[in-house]
Amino acid sequence: MNAFVDPAGMAGHSGMTKGEVLLRVDNVSLAFGGVKAITNISFDIVKGEVRAIIGPNGAGKTSMLNVINGFYHPQEGTITWRGKVRRKMKPYEAASNGIARTFQNVALFKGMTTLDNIMTGRGLKMHKNFLWQCLHWGPALREENEHRRKVEEIIDFLEIQAIRKTPVGRLPYGLQKRVELARALAMEPELLLLDEPMAGMNLEEKEDMSRFILDVNQQFGTTIALIEHDMGVVMDLSDRVVVLDYGRKIADGPPEEVQSNQDVIDAYLGVPHEN
Amino acid sequence: MAGSPVVERLDEDTFPKILLRNARVFADRPSMREKDLGIWQAWTWSQVLEEIRTFAIGLQDIGFTQGDKIAIVGANRPRLYWSMVAVQSLGGVPVPLYSDSVAEEMAFVLEHAEVRFACVEDQEQVDKLLSMSESLPHLEQVIYDDPRGLVDYDHSRLHSFEGLQVAGRKALEGDPARAEAWLEGIAAAKGADIAVMLYTSGTTGRPKGVMLSFDNLVISARNGNKFDNLNETEETLAYLPMAWIGDHVFSLAQAYCAGYCVNCPENLETVLSDRREIAPTYFFAPPRVFEGLLTHIMVRMEDAGRIKKKMFDFFMGVARRVGEQILNGEDVGFGDRLLYRLGDLFVYGPLKNQMGFTRLKVGYTAGEAIGPEIFRFYRSLGLNLKQLYGQTEASVYITMQPDGEIYGDTVGMPAPDVELRIAENGEVHYRSPGVFVGYYKNDEATRSTKTEDGWVLTGDAGFIADNGHLKIIDRAKDVGKLSDGSLFAPKYIENKLKFFPNVKEVVAFGDGRDFCGVFVNIDLTAVGSWAERNNVNYASYQELAAHPHVYEMIRSHVDQVNRDLASEPMMAGGQIKRFLVLHKELDADDGELTRTQKVRRSFIAERYQPLIEALYDGSTSKHVRTEVTFEDGRKGGIEATVAIHDMELYPAQSGGMKEAAE
């Protein structure tokens, strides 16, 4: 049985209501030496929506995601997070400010069990110090039990009870992706970034994953930004889509509008040579 | 332990009445457990009473009245079990459905049963019901257990289980008369009322709704409990479909009558580890579960270290030699007993723990024939595994195996209060207090299954063996006669041969002919690995199948089957006189097997007509060409010369217990 999880309890961070701008990037440019990964891009992510970022290979999607979660700091432009302009952050600051992500290539601790992997997602929320945790008794144990409960709710939510004690390295790829999502959810993020959540999955796994993404969005009220190559999935899941090509934004809008945009079609299918 | 006083002295004749009794005498004993968020949550009988009462009142307030039917759809969840008894307390009838059936199948049953209400597990089932709501004019309200994903649905006809309970609790607090009225309603119900309607899965034609009364279920359940000395301390695992009579009787009827605890696993994939945690004392599984478990163990043992493997092999040898005798309470020498004890310490105990059978008091298997080797494996470990023969129409129990009288090839003696007779044509008939009331809205089917004086025709052919135990041989309609009048039961012969690992499929012919002849399909995995070990080279299935050594191997198996058959007076005439090994594997793509891997005998007879002729005209080989369909739909042909071998027949022996092939 899935316990009903109170959305307010899970995602209540900033107290923003649905429809407010949660994150805005303005005229952002990012370059690695001479390589311009992102050039002058602006768009916003609204609280409660599913926002897709698409584009051909090398368009700068993953760089964009890294800019959003604070891993890269852009050379130009501003990022406004929860209404405040964000400055350059240290990694641990970035991790604790309410943005969680999954990776294009699964980045789990292969030798650890599913449960332990997800528990690492709670690490930042543990407040008892190292010595207390070594003692594993009294307040520290109580705290861990509380976190374990949250983790169990997520396990239940993603229906991965059967692999709770299985080392992640032994799991099939589709399930590893799910565990990664679980770990991201364990941070109770306000904004969840998914880098190609469906890559390498079969049809059934894709359907499951789509279902979970929608449920996360609906039940926890989590805002989601995702990169995905499967256009069917993008069109079905997302509320708005932003399209990048060679580091530039070429379209932004609802899926059906983007789908019929000539620039987007050209970017994906290529343009025939004039002569 | 059968003398548990509270269980013996009973006059409650419906489940709601038994619930009230249990809440009184077993108030603080666990009634149900469910693993939720990784922790086993328990409900005592008094808590269950409260859950059921509030739900029943809530249900009443959305219009449920006496005589209404409610569909129950979902996996084994405590709330779904409770909803059944809640409905019964209001004079309604629950109709559990198979949750994995597709929308159209479900629609037929829902429409046929005229259900106005449905209580389902989750969003998946709600979606399924909503998708066919247009074709279901009777269906009015849907109740769901798990609210996940359903928040945004239109709730004008949709209710959450919890929501109804909250409403029910309020109503009870507001008006004490409601509780009184509820109790009066329960008291007014009689044992003859319909308790539940179970639709038989319907391998032939449309499913039929079997109506069972409280008397049917309560008396059968009490008999079952008494037979195996089950009491309130038992633990069981509810993991088989709720729409199946077995689960209904084990997890509801017997649990209520004995007062024992039913455990619901976290989900279907965790059954194995949940079983290990619970260690049920009473357990039921179809043969494939036991087969799967055995394979799992054997594969793991192959990878074990040398010392462990040696130890395992040695003590399993001991168990094979004396384990069953010890379990049956027979005389065994002191040395062997000591060895067996040691084995229990080093091997059997840990093995049982792995399987979750440490506390097993009695385990049952039914549904189809279990391989004698598998059956013996579990029994030799000291697990009291038994077979039973039952039907939905009988509230499960027809025959059971009493302790100490377990034979692998028979299904036991008539269960308590059951009368058994074998009809002229070999069909098994029975009469018992558990015999169903009738098929819902299908008097014709009722009349053709149940006689005026209460005998039910099982449709299975069988006979009573010398030891008084029933032996099922085949579906009655498949049983034929050889031209000399002796009985020919194709499936019985086929199963006997199929128990050899080297044999994959068998098709037996003989109805209306002079003798029995069979087609054999070898098992490529088993025979292939044998070939590898014995330096037999082969390039294809066809080549391996035609290899003289393989023929010799199959010949020895057939010979063993013939010896077995000769020892059974009824079956001795049906010995296999000639056999051949088919040059191709039977395949569902060619229409030779059904999609569920059952042989289509008549189709095969037609397709391999030349081979059948050769089987009966005495020739020793035959050249045939067979058309095959490849997986991509293209067609091709296989040509082969198939050898046909003659077998030696044995004179029928009269009497004497037989032991299956060793």
pLDDT in tens, B533-558: 888 888 888 899 999 999 999 999 99
The tokens describing A255, both together, are 């899926």
Q: What pLDDT does B44 receive?
A: 97
Contact partners, residue A86, CB within 8 Å, separation at least 6 = A70, A78, A79, A80
Measured CA angle at B201 (ends B199, B203), to 5 deg:
140
Nearest to A211 by CA among B149, B365, B511: B149
Nearest to A212 by CA among A234, A232, A237: A237
Least confident of B349-353, B425-429, B488-492, B586-590: B586-590
Residue A125 inside a domain? The answer is: yes
Confidence of residue B5 (pLDDT cuts 50, 70, 90): very low
**Does residue B167 carry a pLDDT above 90?**
yes
pLDDT in tens, B286-326: 888 888 888 888 878 877 889 999 999 999 999 999 988 88
Q: Do A6 and A77 sit in the same domain of this protein?
A: yes
For residue B165, the one-letter residue type is: Q
| Residue B39 with chain A: CB contacts under 8 Å | 152
| Residue B152 with chain A: CB contacts under 8 Å | 218
Q: Do A3 and A85 sit in the same domain of this protein?
A: yes
- Spatial separation of the C-alpha atoms in residues B29 and A146, rounded to whole Å: 28
Q: Do A79 and A113 sit in the same domain of this protein?
A: no
**Does residue B573 carry a pLDDT above 90?**
no
CB contact under 8 A, A161 and B38: yes
Residue A197 inside a domain? The answer is: yes
- Spatial separation of the C-alpha atoms in residues B500 and B316, rounded to whole Å: 20
Contact partners, residue B500, CB within 8 Å, separation at least 6 = B557, B661
Mean pLDDT of A82-91: 83
Q: Do A200 and A67 sit in the same domain of this protein?
A: yes
The DSSP string of A167-236 is: BGGGS-HHHHHHHHHHHHHHT--SEEEEESTTTT--HHHHHHHHHHHHHIIIII--EEEEE-S-HHHHHH
Place of tokens 């035609």: B546
Distance from CA of A171 to the nearest CA of B (A): 14
Where is the domain boundary, A172, A187, A202? A187
CATH of domain B481-646: 3.30.300.30
The tokens describing A81, both together, are 């997070």
Q: What pLDDT does B356 receive?
A: 92
Residue A104 inside a domain? The answer is: no
CB B591 within 8 Å of CB B606: no
Mean pLDDT of B213-226: 94
Provide the number of structural domains found in chain A: 2
Highest mean pLDDT among A259-263, B86-90, B350-354, B585-589: B86-90
- Region of B4 on the Ramachandran plot (φ > 0 left; ψ -120 to 50 alpha; else beta): beta
Mean pLDDT of B433-451: 92
Q: Which residues of B have a CB under 8 Å from any CB of A?
A: 34-39, 77, 79, 122, 145-149, 151-152, 266-267, 269-270, 273
Nearest CA in chain A to B147: A4
Q: What pLDDT does B179 receive?
A: 94
Place of tokens 């084995």: B343
Residue A273 inside a domain? The answer is: yes
Distance from CA of B528 to the nearest CA of A (A): 29
Q: What pLDDT does B206 receive?
A: 80
For residue A9, the one-letter residue type is: G
Residue A70 inside a domain? The answer is: yes
Where is the domain boundary, A131, A154, A187? A187
Question: Looking at residue B583, what DSSP letter applies?
Answer: S
Where is the domain boundary, A143, A167, A187? A187
Which of B80, B148, B161 best tests the A interface by mutation, with the highest count of A CBs <10 A?
A: B148
Distance from CA of B630 to the nearest CA of A (A): 25
3-state secondary structure of B157: coil
Among A4, A152, A215, whose Cβ lies nearest the Cβ of B38?
A152
**Does residue B1 carry a pLDDT above 80?**
no
The tokens describing A114, both together, are 């599913």
**H helices present in B155-286, as ranges:** 161-174, 176-188, 214-227, 245-248, 254-258, 271-278
Task: Kindly indicate whether the ipTM for this predicted assembly is greater than 0.90, answering yes or no.
Answer: no
CATH of domain B5-266: 3.40.50.12780
- Spatial separation of the C-alpha atoms in residues B46 and B29, rounded to whole Å: 8
CA-based R_g, chain B, Å: 27
Confidence of residue B23 (pLDDT cuts 50, 70, 90): very high
Distance from CA of A261 to the nearest CA of B (A): 32
Residue A93 inside a domain? The answer is: yes
Measured CA angle at A207 (ends A203, A210), to 5 deg:
135
Confidence of residue B595 (pLDDT cuts 50, 70, 90): low
**Does residue A170 carry a pLDDT above 50?**
yes
Q: What pLDDT does B341 receive?
A: 93
Q: What pLDDT does A275 receive?
A: 53
pLDDT in tens, A1-45: 444 444 444 444 667 788 889 999 999 999 988 888 899 999 999
pLDDT in tens, A194-236: 999 988 888 888 988 998 999 899 888 899 999 988 888 888 8
Q: What pLDDT does B659 receive?
A: 38
A164 touches chain B (CB under 8 A): yes
Q: For the stretch B494-510, what's the b/e string if a residue is b when 16 or more beta carbons lie within 10 angstroms of its beta carbon?
A: bbbbbbbebbbbbbbbb
pLDDT in tens, B443-463: 988 998 999 999 999 989 888
Q: Do A92 and A205 sit in the same domain of this protein?
A: yes
Q: Do A195 and A78 sit in the same domain of this protein?
A: yes
Q: What pLDDT does B77 receive?
A: 95
Q: Do A88 and A206 sit in the same domain of this protein?
A: yes
pLDDT in tens, B257-273: 999 999 999 988 899 88
Q: Do A21 and A10 sit in the same domain of this protein?
A: yes
Among A156, A159, A162, whose Cβ lies nearest the Cβ of B37?
A156
Q: For the stretch B274-296, what's the b/e string if a residue is b when 16 or more beta carbons lie within 10 angstroms of its beta carbon?
A: bbeebbbbbbbbbbebbbebbee
pLDDT in tens, B366-424: 877 787 788 889 999 999 999 999 989 999 999 999 988 888 888 999 999 999 999 88
| Residue A215 with chain B: CB contacts under 8 Å | 148-149
Mean pLDDT of B606-616: 90
- Spatial separation of the C-alpha atoms in residues B456 and B206, rounded to whole Å: 20
Q: Do A14 and A88 sit in the same domain of this protein?
A: yes
**Does residue B526 carry a pLDDT above 90?**
no
pLDDT in tens, A137-168: 777 888 888 899 999 999 999 999 999 999 99
Q: Do A170 and A60 sit in the same domain of this protein?
A: no
Among B39, B148, B266, whose Cβ lies nearest the Cβ of A215?
B148
Domains of chain B by residue range: 5-266, 283-475, 481-646
Q: What pLDDT does B484 receive?
A: 86
Distance from CA of A207 to the nearest CA of B (A): 13
Q: What pLDDT does A13 receive?
A: 60
Residue A165 inside a domain? The answer is: yes
CB contact under 8 A, A219 and B267: no
Same fold for the pair B5-266 and B283-475: no
CB contact under 8 A, A1 and B38: no
Inter-chain Cβ pairs, chain A and chain B, closer than 8 A:
48
Q: What pLDDT does A84 receive?
A: 87
Q: What pLDDT does B213 receive?
A: 96
Q: What pLDDT does A274 receive?
A: 60
Nearest to B56 by CA among B88, B98, B17: B88
Instruction: Report helix angle B45-61 to B78-89, nearest 10.
Output: 60
Question: Looking at residue B567, what DSSP letter applies?
Answer: T
The DSSP string of B409-435 is: T--BEEPTT-EEEE-TTSEEEEE-TT-
Q: Do A205 and A69 sit in the same domain of this protein?
A: yes
| Residue A149 with chain B: CB contacts under 8 Å | 37
Mean pLDDT of B207-215: 94
Residues of chain B by 3-state class (helix, strand, coil), percent to 5: 45, 20, 35
- Spatial separation of the C-alpha atoms in residues A122 and A144, rounded to whole Å: 9
Among A4, A162, A165, whose Cβ lies nearest the Cβ of B147?
A4
Which of B33, B34, B35, B37 best tests the A interface by mutation, with the highest count of A CBs <10 A?
A: B37
- Residue B339 CB-half CA count within 13 A: 17
| Residue A146 with chain B: CB contacts under 8 Å | none
Give the architecture (CATH level 2) of B283-475. Answer: Roll (2.30)
- Spatial separation of the C-alpha atoms in residues B257 and B174, rounded to whole Å: 33
Residue A145 inside a domain? The answer is: yes
Place of tokens 């579906």: B475
A155 touches chain B (CB under 8 A): yes
Q: Do A153 and A229 sit in the same domain of this protein?
A: no
Q: Which domain holds residue A5?
A: 1-98+190-275
**Does residue B69 carry a pLDDT above 70?**
yes
Mean pLDDT of B14-18: 96
Mean pLDDT of B96-103: 86
Among B79, B147, B267, whose Cβ lies nearest the Cβ of A162?
B267
CATH number at residue A92: 3.40.50.300
**pTM strictly above 0.80:** yes
**Cα of B152 vs its chain's centroid, Å:** 40
